[in-house]
Amino acid sequence: MPVQSPISSVNDFVVRFANVNGSGSASANELFARAILRHGVPVSPRNIFPSNIQGLPTWYEVRVTEAGHLGARGGVDMMVAMNPQTWDKDVASIEPGGYLFYDSTKPMPTSKFRADINVIGVPLTAITNSTYTDPRQRQLFKNIIYLGAMCALLDMDPKIVEQLIAEQYKGKEKLLSSNVHALHLGRDWALQNLKCPVGLRVKKSDKVGDRIFMEGNSAAALGAVYGGATVCAWYPITPSSSVAEAFTSHCKKLRHDPETGKAKYAIVQGEDELASIGIVIGASWNGARAFTATSGPGISLMTEFIGLSYFAEIPAVIMNIQRAGPSTGMPTRTQQCDIIACAYASHGDTKHVLLFPEDPAEAFEFAAQSFDLADRLQTMIFLMLDLDIGMNHRLCRPLKWDDARQYDRGKVMTAEMLDEPGRDFGRYLDVDGDGIPYRTYPGTHPTKGSFFTRGTSRDRYARYSEEGAIYADNMQRLVRKFETAQDMVPRPLQANAAKPTKYGVIYFGSTAPAMDEAIGLLEARGHQLDRLRIRAFPFHSSVASFIADHDFVYVVEQNRDGQLRQLIVNENGIDPVRLVPILHYDGTPITARFIANAIGDHQDHLKVTPLRKAVS
Amino acid sequence: MTYIAKPKFHHPGLPKNELGYTHRDYEGKISTLCAGCGHDSITASIIEACYELSIEPHRVAKISGIGCSSKTPDYFLGNSHGFNSVHGRMPSVLTGANLANRDLIYLGVSGDGDSASIGFGQFAHSIRRAVNMTYIVENNGVYGLTKGQFSATADRGSKSKKGVMNTDNAIDLVAIALQLGASFVARSFSGDKNQLVPLIAAAIRHKGASFIDVISPCIAFNNHAGSTKSFDYVREHNDAVNRLDVLTGRDPITVDYAPGTVQVVEQHDGTRLALRKIDADYDANDRLAAMTFLQKHAAKGQVVTGLLYVDPDSEDLHTHLDTVETPLNTLEAKDLCPGTSALEKINASLR
């Protein structure tokens, strides 16, 4: 008997499935998460998987959260321990009073259990082997059988799961019926042999509303479709490959000419990242909207072309789905560690525009917007996702589009404009004083508007020049253009604490849901914080104002060196003392508990001394 | 590249092509390459070919990498957009440009350092993808801009100007292009304008990946005894497999009725490629034979020039991708954006 009383909770708990990569568990586990959603209860699932095709441990965690917290919580209330390799670690991670679900076909020594948890054994292998003879069927249906047992243990409506299976296997009646059969095998066994339900229960609710359940990579790819991207060149790399794959899939459904059936897009799997970004730059130079998707190592390879994009002022979009670096790092683990690498990519003096969406809905919006920004600013735009957004399903608001919206192609001079009396075309002339020159597409005019694009220095008329003053003039204009970008990119969003406070917190991207929840936990500890979610670089002036308005500000990010903090210090002339780094970088998604503990402990132990205002 | 523009004055008596353009309309800025550079001869041949084909200069996109050869697009077709990209990466930039607008003519100019070393991969993949382009390598076997290092096309045993012997094997870009599936493969010599001009014209007319390797002696660093890329060596060892004219389907643009048999190859755009065969055994439609022929002559130290292979049924990348005929860069929101109704359906499918 456990010393600890069993955890009892309705619609607020964490279930983690421990499986072996390649065992076919992913679809069953996702089915579990979707079934809870169909109960009207929000979920926040996460894949935790190795850089391996088959055989290594993999986990799928489902946070059931009626309150709608979409960050990872930390801790496990019920462990479905299907991987002997990780048994000890999995058992150790269960919260006191939590539940261990395991395959009890073979007896386990008592030393393999904990006294303070509740053990639920189901002879999954025995049930499976007595029903199926085919080894693959045994493996696959074992997953559905444990899903059936979970339905009974958590008091889930089996009809909802059946409906989901029906949707999944629409038109494949044989698969549908066999999956439903396996579901009931597990459920019936549990109902007959176990005390159901346990303390954790799923009760129907109405907290999901009209929200959608989507992966960030797919949302970003759809944003590219809506944003008018016609050329995609890419090279496979985790965790970004599914962006290009989703773009292909979306285009196949949405982008064929109804009369001819021909494609209104071109997708090329490049031979490497260098070729991919080269194709993107060539296409953008020639007036198409083009993008690539990659991750940190890909950014490293692309930096030469990124510099060309900056200096030659060619629009382009890179969707960077970040993973843990440096080098190969942890390819399947999440981080926000390419901030500096992207902000200043390439040699010489460069600055690039970065966008930081917080969830799939914003990934869709920012992806579409990135093509307008690239065209308007004639520069590289980085859409900065990470694995936690990109490869996990997130509950988010429905995607929206305004049908009246037209693509903003920026300053493109047409043949008619070139023919206007008195019109002077110089590729790098700052006609409007905003640092953004006019460009022409190749083939525009028989005698006017052509120019030579190059990565070497040139004058305002695109004529090669190594004159120092001409070079400096050009570099200053590029700075001016970057300043113009401040008011074009998405602004930071500020939310103030319930009570006046001297402290603030800055965060961005996939940290947002955990941060939102952490604020509540901190309030419960008596700490009030104003918060600012940064959504783009260059930083809007409100970032410096926010820091100036507080004695000090925490900067929460998922990397070792506080890269966003560095960027703020560097770009805004902030005294580093004013910015307290809160850093999480073990490759797992940041949790509300981590943030609340880190900030709370700092606040608790802080001997606050007046700090000078240091914004220059 | 230079900022010195040529005088705009045109002599009223200059001959004009079908569009009413003179040669001057196909010229660019004044070359800053060394006087006598083979690359300038290639520039002249490109100008001549475009003039003869009556191409609208602004409908050509000229793209290069980095190096002496890659400077040359500044010296021809001054009313065309040019792109001097990064070292060895011309093929990817050209591929992207081609995807964006299939209606323009794409001229990729590269060097042996550009294409056989740093850009060897991009060269190979652009060829195997059948990008519709004319890919010209101005091949001098040496790095001129960095003053005389061997390139990957320098023959084993050849000597540099400083007397250093090259011990590495040479890459034969023509052989590689044939193996990779280029549908038009030729080699020529910068000093043989009669051969080079029609080759360039035919390559421009060809749909698919056209590759021309042009031996172009570097007079500063690789035009001495011991170099297999020198004027004298190439002249002495040149073995032309054929001569050709390009007929546009209207009047012949170039007229050279030297005796010999003629093999006419129908092109996709309706033009005909007339091969004037010198070697009775040579069949320019046989890829395998071309590869064998090339290797046999290379073993004898001969530089085979002329049109080595052409595929009369060639396709290009757009055919493979089945893209719309309308250039992708002209499509607007109404053509591309699926709109709110499609988005509502997507939202519904995600609940």
Flag if A228 and B337 touch (Cβ within 8 Å): yes
Determine the residue of chain A that is closest to B84 in CA distance: A454
Q: Which long-range contacts (CB under 8 A, 24 or more apart) does A310-313 make?
A: A310/A346, A310/A350, A310/A351, A310/A352, A310/A379, A310/A380, A310/A478, A311/A348, A311/A350, A311/A455, A311/A478, A312/A453, A312/A454, A312/A455, A313/A378, A313/A379, A313/A428, A313/A437, A313/A439, A313/A478
State what percent of residues in chain A have pLDDT above 90.
90
8 A C-beta contact, residue A131 and residue A179: no
Looking at beta carbons, which residues of chain A come within 8 Å of B2?
464
Q: What is the pLDDT of residue B74?
A: 95
B225 pLDDT band (50/70/90 cuts)?
Answer: confident
Residue B255: the pLDDT is: 32
Provide the shortest C-alpha distance from residue B81 to chain A (in Å). 5
When comparing pLDDT for A420 and B219, which is higher?
Answer: A420
* CB within 8 Å: A286 and B97: yes
In this prediction, residue B259 carries a pLDDT of 38
Give the mutation candidate from A253, A279, A347, A402 for the B interface (greatest B CB count, under 10 A). Answer: A279
ipTM of the complex: 0.93
Distance from CA of B175 to the nearest CA of A (A): 21
Per-residue pLDDT tens digits for A160-203: 999 999 998 888 888 888 899 999 999 999 999 999 999 999 99
B positions 306-325 inside 8 Å of A (CB): 317-318, 321-325
pLDDT of residue B245: 66
pLDDT (tens digit per residue) in B62-120: 999 999 999 999 999 999 999 999 999 999 999 999 999 999 999 999 999 999 999 99
Residue B300: pLDDT band by 50, 70, 90 thresholds?
confident
From chain B residues 202-261, the ones with a CB under 8 A of any chain A CB are: none
Say whether A305 and B335 touch across the interface (CB within 8 A). no
Q: Among A579-583, A612-616, B295-299, B337-341, where is mean pLDDT lowest?
A: A612-616
Tens digit of pLDDT for each residue in B178-188?
999 999 999 99
Which positions in chain A touch B89 (Cβ < 8 Å)? Answer: 274-275, 278, 304-305
Of B235 and A37, more confident: A37
- pLDDT value, residue A133: 85
Residue partners of A597: CB distance under 8 A and separation at least 6: none
Helical H segments across chain B, by residue range: 38-52, 68-71, 90-100, 112-113, 120-128, 173-180, 193-205, 231-237, 287-299, 317-321, 333-336, 339-349
* Chain A neighbors of B103, CB-CB under 8 A: 443
SS3 call for A210: coil
What is the per-residue pLDDT for B271? 58
Q: Which amino acid is at B346?
A: I
What is the nearest CA distance from B85 to chain A, expressed in angstroms?
6
Q: A78 forms bridges with which residues in the sheet?
A: A15, A99
The reply to whether B100 touches chain A by the CB within 8 Å rule is: yes
B145 touches chain A (CB under 8 A): no
Count of Cβ atoms closer than 10 Å to residue A139 Cβ: 16
Q: Is B99 on the interface with A (CB under 8 A)?
A: yes
Mean pLDDT across chain B: 87
Contacts of B91 in chain A (CB under 8 A): 275, 278
B96 touches chain A (CB under 8 A): yes
Residues of chain A with pLDDT under 50: 1, 607-614, 616
Predicted local confidence at residue B264, as pLDDT: 58
Provide, as residue numbers in chain A, all residues whose Cβ is less than 8 Å from the Cβ of B322. Answer: 261-263
pLDDT digits (tens, 9 = 90+) for B246-289: 655 444 333 343 434 455 556 556 656 555 545 667 889 999 99
CB–CB contact A286 B61 (8 Å): yes
Size of interface A-B (CB pairs under 8 A): 239
The whole-model pTM stands at: 0.93
pLDDT band at B199 (very low <50, low <70, confident <90, very high): very high
